[in-house]
A = this chain, B = another copy of it.
Amino acid sequence: MNRSQLTGQIKAKQSYLCVGLDTDVTKIPAHLQSQPQAVLQFNKAIIDATKNYCVAYKINTAFYEVYGLKGWEILEETLAYIPSTHFTIADAKRGDIGNTSAQYARTFFETYSFDAVTVAPYMGEDSIRPFLEYTDKFTIVLGLTSNKGAGDFEYLKTNTGNYFYEEVISKISTWGTQDNLMFVVGATQAKELENIRKIIPSNFLLIPGVGAQGGSLEDVSKYGMNKDCGLLVNVGRSILYASTQEDFAETAATVSKEYQQQMTGCLKTYLPV
């Protein structure tokens, strides 16, 4: 799925919700836990329940890798179950020297046909280029993350007076285009979004941290939206585990519908004309 298809979906659904499939078998309803392929059954039910309200799904690879072969099998079947109308993100945070990054890019864009993969920036240009060479896919680089540890390095000041994360976003933005490059910016850092939009007015931003991590959808939309919306707001735990009873899917539908409705409101209020 390319950028104009993604913006088309956002417009049609009046939603920029991405549902995060960080499925933890210990947190899914008890009646499912004992069944074979419990995680896959859970994911399918969540996808069925939320697909009308979201435009993207983000699969966090860690929650699948931890189960070894079985986990990768579930990841693959989950990915296959996502409708082709939805943008798919492998949240894998990979990155290595050039020849190794090329293998990771091939993994997520060819072995598995994700539309996008998240990438860590520390090792610089040759660690990111192999992903960007897939010009019909999206590389989503960590900019400013939603966790407490963002303060340790991302907020270090450089000798030019900028934050380190600003140097990262600024430099990397010249390596790709709005058609193959996005950045992760945590919702917990909403006040920085105004500043980030000065550096990258047109790239899409993947925004984790709304919901369980405490970020505000309103603030993110106010400071981060551009004329194509330019936002994919990821919500994981608040939707997946909204109910731990047999009604988990209906409750997930209700909660994701609420997010979609809030987003419709935000698009009316904040989309620049």
Contact = CB atoms under 8 A, between A and B. Distances in A.
Interface in A114-171: 120-128, 142, 145-154, 156-159, 161, 164, 167-168, 171
Interface string A20-48: 00101000000000000000000000000
A67 interface: yes
Q: Which of the four size classes fits the interface of chain A? A: 35 or more
Contacts of A67: 111
A158 B97 CA distance: 24
Contacts of A213: 97
Identical copies in the complex: 2
A69 interface: yes
A2 interface: no
A108 to B, nearest CB: 9
Contacts of A128: 149
A192 interface: no
Interface in A208-233: 208, 213
Contacts of A13: none
B159 A96 contact: no
Contacts of A72: 68-69, 72
A104 interface: yes
B159 A167 contact: no
B156 A157 contact: no
A80 interface: no
A3 interface: no
A121 B120 CA distance: 9
Nearest to A168: B153
B63 A147 contact: no
Contacts of A65: 103-104, 107, 111
A251 interface: no
Contact of A159 (B94, B154, B159): B159
A273 interface: no
B149 A66 contact: no
A22 to B, nearest CB: 7
A97 B150 CA distance: 9
Task: List the 5 closest pairs (A to B, CB-CB), nearest first.
Answer: A124-B149, A124-B152, A62-B103, A97-B147, A157-B159
Interface of A: 22, 24, 60, 62-63, 65-69, 72-73, 76, 91, 93-101, 103-104, 106-107, 111-112, 120-128, 142, 145-154, 156-159, 161, 164, 167-168, 171, 208, 213
